[in-house]
């Protein structure tokens, strides 16, 4: 079915209000806390939206997920936590990034990640030429790179003593299409949460690749890249897919679903990461609103401005 022919999924059930309330409870908590700022935010209809009912073909129509409560997040051993001088996420460009509307500027991506995850330092490493990696390739019908060969290089960087002093994680990005094995058609990317690295391709984000028309290429590419990067770094920080609210951490099965997703974290995911990164909610929202306005995302800017007022009151 095309996107416009999709129907509401029959395979998914929303969380009950009681299950959602309990998801905000921390260790040892046995009842709702009236002073919980994040749960209060979750009950604020203008600022928090319920999880949209998935359509056929969407992530939650195809994947059964229990969701992650605050307690489950707190008990997870695998999450990226800044500590001491170990506070840096390294962004690694692989291959060419020509100066066209197909390619998001690295400095914009790194600025955004630093604003989205205050407390996390983001540094762009020198780009690595494909000739220096000599990865396995195939034609399908265009060139694709075997993602495992790129991971091998990232594992080497994880062991680099100079980087290890500050390194929380390494995220590789490329404009080349990727595949994980002969049985796969392609993959947008993969992450190894336990070892702290991920690799993601932006090759399929331009409307030209999918034949989409009537949309601004530059904004659409940038929107998709910002969402995917901030989503995947959220996984490295310990977040699982969100099934409680409309949220950046909702799963996405295809580009149309990715485009429907918001830039923002829901109150539950905000509560999880605010404890890890010690965020100042109002300041973070003010900075994100400035970024969105600067880059033409009016809806994202308006939401963060409203959140800044909420946190400041």
Q: What is the pLDDT of residues 143-167, one digit of tens each?
A: 999 999 999 999 999 888 889 899 9
Q: Is 232 a catalytic residue?
A: yes
Q: What is the pLDDT of residues 189-247, one digit of tens each?
A: 888 888 889 999 999 998 878 777 666 888 899 999 999 999 999 999 999 999 999 99
Structural contact between residues 180 and 218, judged by C-beta atoms closer than 8 angstroms: no
**CA 254 to each of CA 85, 93, 158, 224, 266: distance values in angstroms, whole numbers, following the listed order:** 38, 24, 31, 11, 21
pTM of the model: 0.92
Burial category of 90 from C-beta neighbours within 10 Å (exposed 0-12, middle 13-18, buried 19 and up): buried
Candidates 232, 246, 287, 305; catalytic one: 232
Tokens of 288: 């994100």
């Amino acid at each position: 079915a095309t996107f416009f022919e999709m129907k509401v999924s029959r395979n998914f059930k929303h969380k009950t209000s009681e299950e959602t309330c309990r998801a905000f409870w921390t260790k040892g908590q046995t009842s709702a806390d009236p002073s919980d700022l994040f749960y209060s935010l979750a009950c604020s209809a203008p600022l928090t939206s319920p999880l949209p009912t998935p359509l056929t073909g969407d992530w939650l129509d195809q994947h059964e997920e229990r969701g992650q409560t605050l307690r489950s997040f707190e008990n997870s051993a695998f999450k990226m936590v800044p500590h001491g001088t170990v506070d840096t996420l390294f962004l690694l460009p692989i291959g060419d990034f020509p100066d066209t509307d197909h390619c998001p500027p690295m400095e914009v991506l790194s600025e955004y990640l630093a604003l989205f995850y205050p407390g996390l330092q983001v540094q762009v490493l020198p780009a690595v030429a494909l000739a220096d990696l000599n990865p396995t390739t195939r034609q399908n019908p265009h060139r694709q790179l075997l993602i495992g060969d790129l991971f091998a290089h990232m594992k080497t960087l994880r062991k680099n003593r100079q980087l290890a002093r500050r390194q929380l994680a390494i995220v590789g990005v490329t404009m080349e299409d990727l595949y994980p094995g002969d049985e796969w058609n392609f993959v947008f990317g993969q992450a190894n949460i336990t070892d702290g690295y991920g690799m993601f391709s932006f090759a399929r984000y331009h409307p030209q690749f999918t034949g989409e028309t009537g949309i601004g290429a530059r904004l659409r590419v940038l929107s998709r890249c910002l969402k995917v990067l901030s989503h995947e770094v959220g996984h490295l920080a310990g977040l699982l897919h969100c099934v409680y609210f409309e949220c950046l951490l909702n799963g996405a099965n295809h580009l149309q679903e990715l485009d429907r997703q918001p830039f923002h974290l829901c109150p539950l995911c905000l509560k999880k990461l605010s404890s890890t990164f010690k965020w100042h909610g109002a300041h973070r929202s003010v900075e994100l609103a400035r970024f969105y306005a600067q880059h033409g995302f009016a809806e994202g800017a308006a939401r963060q401005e409203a959140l800044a007022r909420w946190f400041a009151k």
